[in-house]
Amino acid sequence: EYMGTRLMAFLLQVPEGFVPACDILNQFPPLFLEQVTTEALRYLQLNIGVLQAQEYARNLKVEGVTLSVDECQYAINAVLYLMSGVIRARLSPKNFGRALLMYTGLNQPAVETIARIWGEQAEAALRPEAKKDIHIGELRSLDWKLGVTVASSSCAHLNNPFVSMVARVADADGRVSSRAFELSIPEFFEMAEQFEAMAELMNTL
């Protein structure tokens, strides 16, 4: 069954800290993983509830799993990232589970738990009216131009090339906003290589 190219955007370009966070999630007992996944979906859909890392660390310790508050926060962030991504990609529970096994370091029990909770909540999360409640932007355009540093009050190394980029993103109501950022030439080439890798992998689907 075809999984769709939107899968690539959130499982191939994961944020910093996602990979070690998966190792942390693998230590969560099933009931705790169910809880954090359910709470993440509730937060994303309804913007209610707070996922307290300190509370998770305390309760996990009672169950014999010792994790720091920071580690629990990394795990919570990873689940929030996964659930916002699967809502946007509109993956079936079966394909979501397959994707998690293929592209993340989550073990089989963790994948089964997360995919099952998604299966229970997917219908509500994918309602058309639910999209506005989930604050995920849609990329409308990405413009870039090459520049050269010609003056600086704090930098001794001038005449350095850089890439200036402007991303235009539409929110759930269709309002478009612009976000500008700059990349060094090595950073730009690294990003380009990631896009090339994504394109190659999408051609295999």
Q: What pLDDT, in 10s, does the model give residues 164-200? A: 888 887 765 667 888 888 888 888 888 787 777 666 6
CA 45 – CA 131 distance, rounded (Å): 8
Give 201's pLDDT tier (boundaries 50, 70, 90).
low
Contacts of 3 (CB under 8 A, 6+ apart): 89, 91, 95, 98, 99, 205
Of 41, 61, 57, the closest CA to residue 49 belongs to 41
Q: Do 163 and 143 meet the contact criterion of CB atoms below 8 Å apart?
A: no
How deeply is 1 buried, as exposed, middle or buried, from its count of CB atoms within 10 A (0-12, 13-18, 19+)?
Answer: exposed
The whole-number pLDDT of residue 58 equals 95
What single-letter DSSP state applies at residue 160? -
Give 19's pLDDT tier (boundaries 50, 70, 90).
very high
Integer angstrom CA distances of residue 6 from 12, 87, 104, 173, 198? 10, 11, 16, 20, 10
The whole-number pLDDT of residue 44 equals 84
pLDDT average, residue stretch 62-84: 93
CA 30 – CA 4 distance, rounded (Å): 29
Please state the pTM of the whole predicted model: 0.62
Amino acid at 115: A
Q: Do 10 and 81 meet the contact criterion of CB atoms below 8 Å apart?
A: yes
The whole-number pLDDT of residue 174 equals 67
Residue 2 has pLDDT above 60, yes or no: no
Q: What pLDDT, in 10s, does the model give residues 29-62? A: 999 999 999 999 988 877 666 788 999 999 999 9
Which pair of structure tokens corresponds to residue 62?
Answer: 């009672």
